Amino acid sequence: MELNPFEIAKKQIDIVAKEIGLDPNITKYLKRVERALIVSIPIIMDDGSLQIFEGYRVQHSTVRGPGKGGIRYSPEVNLDEVKALATWMTWKCSLLKLPLGGAKGGVNVDPRKLSRKELERLTRRYTTGIINMIGPDIDVPAPDMNTNAQIMSWIMDTYSMNKGRSVPGVVTGKPIEIGGSVGRNSATGMGLYFVIDAMCEKLKSNLDSQTIVIQGFGNVGGWIASLLYERGCKILAVSDISGGLYYSEGLQIDKLLDWTREGKYLKDYDDNRYRLITNSELLTTECDVLIPAALENQITKENANNINCKIILEGANGPTTPEADRILFQKGIHVIPDILANAGGVCVSYFEYVQDIRAYFWDLDRINKELKRILIEAFEDVYKVYKERKISLRTAAYIIAVSRIAKAFDLRGIFP
């Protein structure tokens, strides 16, 4: 129960509903998803055998605009996880005032066990399965765990072939050559960087002198590691699915990124100054800023008491459970919630979508300037409510995001 992400998402709605006295009818509505589709994905494998995978697409709320949310390929994906991730996307888009709703998708598959051709067939068949549920005016997918620009290209192509014309606005996170945006790859890491910088300023501490620990060394973890490393922060530990590396003097992040970009695991990196640690050791390592950037449910009531940092910057979606949140709040640890901290990804996805629709592309300077403006505005909104009400940053962010959705429901009314 504690670890079912959709139960957690519903619990978070209850916490906010109580805090702001939300209309019980709206509370009831927000705890349901608008649409959920399960598709079977039959694939002829390279050896001629048939395997059937299960895929999902969920729209939690489109009350403020078309759905927006990534697609995840993982053997752990299930409907409740996708529902939770779609719900969190609703809050994220609302918090940033983007005219988009919350959606998410996933396929229950371990993509590392598939050849490139199998992965392409899986992606094209999954896209065909959900084709009536996506589109620039309906719901716009993007990359998430274990999906990337190549997979977005196959989705865009499959959708376009079915429509008989090129429709770049159907997905974001595409390569630049087919309508992608500059700055999308780095966007989530860049967003985390702007937010932690702003938080350090509020706490009157200097970002350069912070010690950092990062779980996950993929798109999000890798980018934030690189940005903080360049800024001069000491990155004490990083991890991937294979385990983590620790060095009290600070890891050489540029070298580790070169290593993992070749598809190699951190645990196999050879440097005798570095100590191998497990992912659970990593989470309780003493540092100033802990950045969970891998997956959900990493900080739970089991390890929350042993977390030894000043700030948790949530790069992943849902890395902290509500029980852990309560403990961390009592311990005085500032948790910068996912819906604010990692919202850089959806923000630049929104820019990509706007650029595709207008067929006019921006430069990196404009992307990063607009990203910073939107994120810092959201950060200041959250910080103000947090100070006024003396609540957690998460509850403050939820109050803003949920209130906007509730207002939209109220204005539109319930059809018919």
Kindly report the length of the chain.
Answer: 416
Among 83, 104, 174, 372, the active-site one is 104
**Residues in binding contact with ligand NAD, number by CB under 6 A:** 24
Determine if the peptide bond prior to 416 is cis (ω within 30°): yes
Which segments of 75-138 are extended strands (E)?
A: 101-108
Which residues on neighbouring strands pair with residue 104, listed in sequence order? 58
Name the closest residue to ligand NAD (Cβ): 218
Pairing relationship of beta strands 289-292 and 311-313 according to DSSP bridges:
parallel
Asked if 104 is an active-site residue, the reply is: yes
Of the candidate spans 21-29, 116-124, 137-145, 382-390, the one that interacts with ligand NAD by CB under 6 A turns out to be 137-145
Q: Does 129 bind ligand NAD (CB under 6 A)?
A: no
31, 8 in Cβ contact below 8 A?
no
Q: Does 316 bind ligand NAD (CB under 6 A)?
A: yes
Residue of the chain from 12, 153, 181, 215 that contacts ligand NAD (CB under 6 A): 215
Q: Does 140 bind ligand NAD (CB under 6 A)?
A: no
Q: Does 219 bind ligand NAD (CB under 6 A)?
A: yes
Residue of the chain from 90, 320, 342, 392 that contacts ligand NAD (CB under 6 A): 342
Closer residue to ligand NAD, CB minimum distance, 17 or 285:
285
29, 107 in Cβ contact below 8 A?
no
Q: At closest approach, how far in Å is the CB of 374 from ligand NAD?
A: 15
Alpha-carbon Rg for the chain, nearest whole angstrom, is 20
Give the pair of three-digit tokens for residue 246: 């620790």
Of the candidate spans 23-31, 158-166, 239-247, 354-362, the one that interacts with ligand NAD by CB under 6 A turns out to be 239-247
Q: Does 172 bind ligand NAD (CB under 6 A)?
A: no
At residue 160, the 3 state secondary structure works out as: helix
Q: Does 146 bind ligand NAD (CB under 6 A)?
A: yes
Of the candidate spans 110-118, 140-148, 382-390, 392-400, the one that interacts with ligand NAD by CB under 6 A turns out to be 140-148
Query: Which phi and psi (to 5°) does residue 238 adopt?
Result: -140, 160
217, 256 in Cβ contact below 8 A?
yes
Q: State how far the Cα of 126 lies from the Cα of 54, in Å rounded to an integer.
A: 9
Q: Does 288 bind ligand NAD (CB under 6 A)?
A: no
Q: Does 5 bind ligand NAD (CB under 6 A)?
A: no
Q: For residue 362, give the DSSP letter.
A: -
Q: Does 188 bind ligand NAD (CB under 6 A)?
A: yes
Q: Does 220 bind ligand NAD (CB under 6 A)?
A: yes
Q: Does 180 bind ligand NAD (CB under 6 A)?
A: no
Q: At closest approach, how far in Å is the CB of 260 from ligand NAD?
A: 7
Q: State how far the Cα of 10 lies from the Cα of 87, in Å rounded to an integer.
A: 9
Q: Does 367 bind ligand NAD (CB under 6 A)?
A: no
Q: For residue 335, give the DSSP letter.
A: E
* Contacts for 72 with CB less than 8 Å, ≥ 6 apart: 82, 85, 104, 105, 106, 107, 144, 145, 146, 147
Of the candidate spans 154-162, 212-220, 229-237, 369-377, the one that interacts with ligand NAD by CB under 6 A turns out to be 212-220
Query: Which phi and psi (to 5°) does residue 244 adopt?
Result: -125, 165
Residues at the contact surface with ligand NAD, assessed by CB under 6 A: 143-146, 188, 215-221, 239-241, 279, 293-295, 315-317, 342, 345
Which residues are marked as active site? 104
